A and B are shown apart, each in its own frame.
Chain A
Amino acid sequence: METSRRDALGLIIGGLGAVGVVGALYPFVKSLAPSAASLAGARVEVDVSQIPDLQVRVVSWKGKPVFVVKLPQNFQWNGKTKEDNNRKLLQGQDAYAMVAVCTHLGCVPLWKPNGEGEFNYPVFHCPCHGGFYSPWGDNIAGPPPRPLHLPPQKREGNKLVIGEPGFIKDLT
């Protein structure tokens, strides 16, 4: 029984030391967390009523450029695409966001509402190697291997919220 007090002291001092170590480590580990500037870029709100019909606005999301496309009501498009992935995902949306990085070698495509070259309807045209995309980002022609990526996004009235799951849940 004589040693029990010393044992208790040892335990208390050891415990205090452990608390101190954890307390000292916390700020160092926490300094590795994403910076405030980066977090601010993870959720972007765009007022789509401010974008004219058939126009595109470029915003930044997680450091990547993102197109916000606004389509007129009853928009008809006569082009043909290699695949229909994005169009199916975006069905019924008059405004949506797409990552504005060409899937070939990463240039930023240009919006051509009046068409370009042989395509006389609205398309995205990547000037670097001649990739063409539909307004929904499905590839029409050229070297791009797949449609433009869609970021997670949802719609709240006039606001399109990029970075939160909604009609697109995950980055495609």
Chain B
Amino acid sequence: MLKGIVRWLDERGKFSQLWQSQMVDYKVPKNLTFPYAFGVMALVAFAIQIISGIFLVMYYQPNVHTAFDSVNYTIMKEIPFMWLIRHIHAAGANFFLAIVYLHIFTGIYYNAYKKPRELTWIVGFFIYFVLLMTALSGYLLPWGQLSYWGMVVTTEIPTSIDSAPIIGSLKIGETISVWMKGGYELGQITLGRFFGLHIWLLPLILLGLVGLHLYLVRANGISSPDGREIDKKKEGVPFHPYITLKEGAYLMGYLAVFFFFVFFYMHHFLPPDNFDPANPFKTPPHIAPEWYLLAFYTMFRSIPDKFLGFVVFNLALLLLLLLPFLDFSPIRSARNRPLFFAMFLVLVISSMALTILGTMPPTPTNAMLGMIFTLGFLSFFLSLPVISILEWGWYKAKGGNRS
């Protein structure tokens, strides 16, 4: 009986053909390493955010007078198990960003942005950018002190354009700032707007971009850790069951760590300051953004000139987007590129140092360190063309040619 139903469905939906072509006949390099699992972990983190978010929307009230109570009373105390779902959503956002960062750094390490995967990288960059906007807009919704003042500071960032030499007199920055808030003050209009963006527009854009990203990964095949493109007809292992089971096991490990934090270690993801309702007349003494923005925040505040700081942190984002075009070396994967590996270490150390410095008060010493590590961060990207030219020389000396 059941077999009959399955056969009936398969004859009409051709599901077994789809499974065969996409999971069994789809060959991947057999030497894939652990960091290749970050992609599927990010996908699962995204699913967790969507599911928990849908349930939170059922009880959350996007109104300045009721938002805080709906989060901290209705959700946390009144409705059974909603405390758990809020914890999952709050910790999930942090894990999602952490996994995305690991995924990005893995991609840089293995040079997964090189031909023919430039477009995959560019779409990935936009996923990262929209993800940051989604996280930022969601953080305003609980309407606590950190939510409110974090957003006050964030919406002030465009006003740095107004201290620029010539375009500053046009006051574009203030216009952008006011358009973000819907008025001169951060209030009901801002909350409603960010709620709409957070629950509808940005996740829909993310879904579209993630779909495109996954399609592009399949279209070009997975890059291998040693940088050699495999011959898909002769080499490689079937995606199912080799990779599905391996990554399934990694996923269980990931979820175990995730739920450890959800149940036993939430105080970082729901900081105590944010359990005070937003007060537009009282700035908390220490305001810093969420950890995933700290590196950019440190760049912004370490540089003494406001406009220059703005330019540099936007440049950092732009260089990340242009990465596939800055690195035109014929050699792939940091395993085969000692110079690249050294600069990659500089990038990783600088990024981590910038993030740590962001948690510290802005003393002159910290500002100096911030500038040094900003230089470290930028030097990775700026050294890529030089390394590429050198490696072309070695490549030709070994008898390689442009193919």
Contact = CB atoms under 8 A, between A and B. Distances in A.
A32 B193 contact: yes
A105 B285 contact: yes
Interface stretch (B1-9, B178-186, B219-227, B368-376): B178-186
A90 interface: no
B185 A62 contact: yes
Contacts of A80: none
B184 A62 contact: yes
Interface in A88-131: 101, 105-108
Nearest to B183: A38
Interface residues of A, number: 17
Nearest to A163: B184
B210 to A, nearest CB: 24
Nearest to A35: B183
Given A38-B185, A63-B183, 16 more contacts: A33-B179, A33-B182, A34-B181, A38-B178, A41-B183, A62-B185, A63-B185, A64-B185, A101-B281, A105-B282, A105-B283, A106-B281, A106-B282, A107-B281, A107-B282, A108-B281
Interface in B261-298: 279-283, 285
Contacts, number: 45
Nearest to A60: B185
A106 B185 contact: no
Interface in A1-53: 32-35, 37-39, 41-42
Contacts of B189: 35, 38
Contacts of A38: 178, 182-185, 189
Contacts of B187: 63
Nearest to B180: A32
A62 B189 CA distance: 14
Interface of A: 32-35, 37-39, 41-42, 62-64, 101, 105-108
A63 B184 CA distance: 7
Q: Chain B: interface residue count, which band?
A: 10 to 19
A77 to B, nearest CB: 27
A42 B281 contact: no
Contacts of B280: 63, 106
Closest 3 CB pairs of A and B: A38-B183, A63-B185, A62-B184
A44 to B, nearest CB: 12
A98 to B, nearest CB: 15
A158 B178 CA distance: 31
Interface centre among A37, A101, A106, A108 (most CB of B within 10 A): A106
Contacts of B193: 32
A106 B152 CA distance: 14
A107 B280 CA distance: 10
A34 B185 contact: no
Contacts of B279: 106
A101 B279 CA distance: 12
A35 B281 CA distance: 22
Contacts of B285: 105
B183 A37 contact: yes
11 contacts: A32-B182, A35-B189, A38-B178, A38-B182, A38-B183, A38-B184, A62-B184, A63-B183, A105-B285, A106-B282, A106-B283
A38 B283 CA distance: 22
Nearest to A39: B183
A105 B283 CA distance: 5
B281 A34 contact: no
Contacts of A64: 185
A34 B283 contact: no
A162 B267 CA distance: 44
A62 B183 CA distance: 8
Contacts of A34: 178-179, 181-184
B25 to A, nearest CB: 41
Contacts of A101: 281
Contacts of A37: 183
B232 to A, nearest CB: 40
A42 B183 CA distance: 9
Nearest to A107: B281
